Amino acid sequence: MNRRIFQTTLLASALTLGGLSTSAQAQQVIKLTAAGGHPPVFLWVKLLDEFYIPEVDKRLAAAGNTHKVEWTKAWGGTLIKIGSESKGISDGVADFGFVGTLFEAAKFPMQNVSYVTPFGTENLGAVGSIVSDMQKNIPAMGDAWTKNGLVYLGGTALDTYHLWTNFPVKSIDDLKGKKISAPGPSANWIKNTGAVAVAGSLPTYYEDIKSGVSNGAITFSTGAWGAKLHEVAPHVTKVNFGSMYAGAVVMNKRRFDSLPPAVQQVFREVGMEYDKRFAEAQNATANALLQKMGEAGATISELPATERKRWAETIPNVAQTWAADLQAKGAPGQEVLKAYMDGLKKSGADLPRDWSVK
């Protein structure tokens, strides 16, 4: 008996050392690093941390637990800074995360179409759907992700942009001589108004306004609340520049291609659910947060429709310049612009200006 026990133990040890143990055969551990430039206080990262990652784990476990992801999380720019997420993920510094196309317009110019067509719609669900359809129907637009070494898993559109300032705004005339934090393409929204655009991002707006670098910022309610902008810019003017397509959840293409098909499918399915949940959460949260800002002492007003139309007609047609520039580079700029404006019209948006008209 002792000899038999010894032989059984020896065999079990040999199998384990040879990588053939029952537990090793039953589960494949996949190590992934998730990263984002923004901290989890912002919804697009918060949902990655609190929904996307746990949901992937949950679905893999429910599918038989043959695959398990071992996650390393690096939010808030601890691994990849804002504006360099696509490079960091495509280079393999991280495997998975959120890429803000707003801050990477040079790499994803067509995805920024909403930012050159301001005064669109506050229906962020419509914006997300329109861009998603365009990426499927306009090959050059969808291929932007692959060309940058990424796999697109799900996109986000932010709630409509408004104006947070440390001075009251009743008309565009009040902007003359003021400095407004407006990153990237949104700097075009204040051209010809007399205001000066100042570069920055959500994490910098608070200190920029507090220190006098700028007098306010153009941003969206959920982001403004997370950045506590109402504390330094208590005048909130509801301009409704429109909901903007802002970025996507992605994975390093080489890493994604190396995953088992069943795991790839889970990531894609959760990405679609992320889209839906993000839109619902943004819609439910934006108005509530504006109300909270009012309760905290902010003065909230709505720019009159006549002033909104006047503002839209005051700024140059940057969309046409943008489209012409893309055309010169061999990209279908005019097709993208027309498709987006057509999508907005079909969604029922009340547009003060049609940017596709030259």
Cβ 349 vs Cβ 123: under 8 Å: yes
**What pLDDT sits at residue 249?**
97
Cβ 215 vs Cβ 119: under 8 Å: no
What would the pLDDT profile of 205-262 be if each residue is shown by its tens digit? 999 999 999 999 999 998 899 899 999 999 999 999 999 999 999 999 999 999 999 9
**What pLDDT sits at residue 16?**
39
Cβ 34 vs Cβ 95: under 8 Å: yes
Residues 82/128/287/117 CA torsion (nearest 10 deg): 80
**What pLDDT sits at residue 245?**
94
Cβ 161 vs Cβ 217: under 8 Å: no
- What are the extents of the domains in the chain? 28-157+244-286
**What pLDDT sits at residue 152?**
96
**What pLDDT sits at residue 223?**
86
Q: Whose CA is closest to 84, among 99, 72, 69?
A: 99
Q: Whose CA is closest to 321, among 134, 111, 116?
A: 116
Tokens of 301: 């007003």
Cβ 43 vs Cβ 281: under 8 Å: yes
* DSSP state string for 239-291: -----EEEEEEEEEHHHHHHS-HHHHHHHHHHHHHHHHHHHHHHHHHHHHHHH
Q: In 18-138, where does DSSP find H-type helix?
A: 22-26, 43-47, 53-62, 85-90, 124-137
Q: Whose CA is closest to 55, among 260, 282, 283, 278?
A: 278
H/E run at residue 210: helix 202-211
The DSSP call for residue 214 is: -
- 3-state percent helix, strand, coil for the chain, nearest multiple of 5: 50, 20, 30
Topology classification of domain 28-157+244-286? D-Maltodextrin-Binding Protein; domain 2 (3.40.190)
Q: How many CA atoms lie within 13 A of 24 on its CB side?
A: 8
Q: The tokens 């065999």 sit on which residue?
A: 11
Number of Cβ within a 10 Å radius of residue 308: 20
- What amino acid is encoded at 41 in this protein? V
Name the average pLDDT for the chain: 91
Give burial (CB, 10 Å; 0-12/13-18/19+) of 47.
buried
pTM of the predicted model over 0.85: no
**What pLDDT sits at residue 25?**
53
What does the pLDDT profile of the chain (358 residues) look like in tens digits? 444 433 444 334 433 333 333 344 578 999 999 999 999 988 899 999 999 999 999 999 999 999 999 999 999 999 999 999 999 999 999 999 999 998 898 999 999 999 999 999 999 889 998 999 999 999 999 999 999 999 999 999 989 999 999 999 999 999 999 999 997 788 999 999 999 999 998 889 999 999 999 999 999 998 899 899 999 999 999 999 999 999 999 999 999 999 999 999 999 999 999 999 998 888 888 989 999 999 999 999 999 999 999 999 999 999 999 999 999 999 999 999 999 999 999 999 989 999 999 8
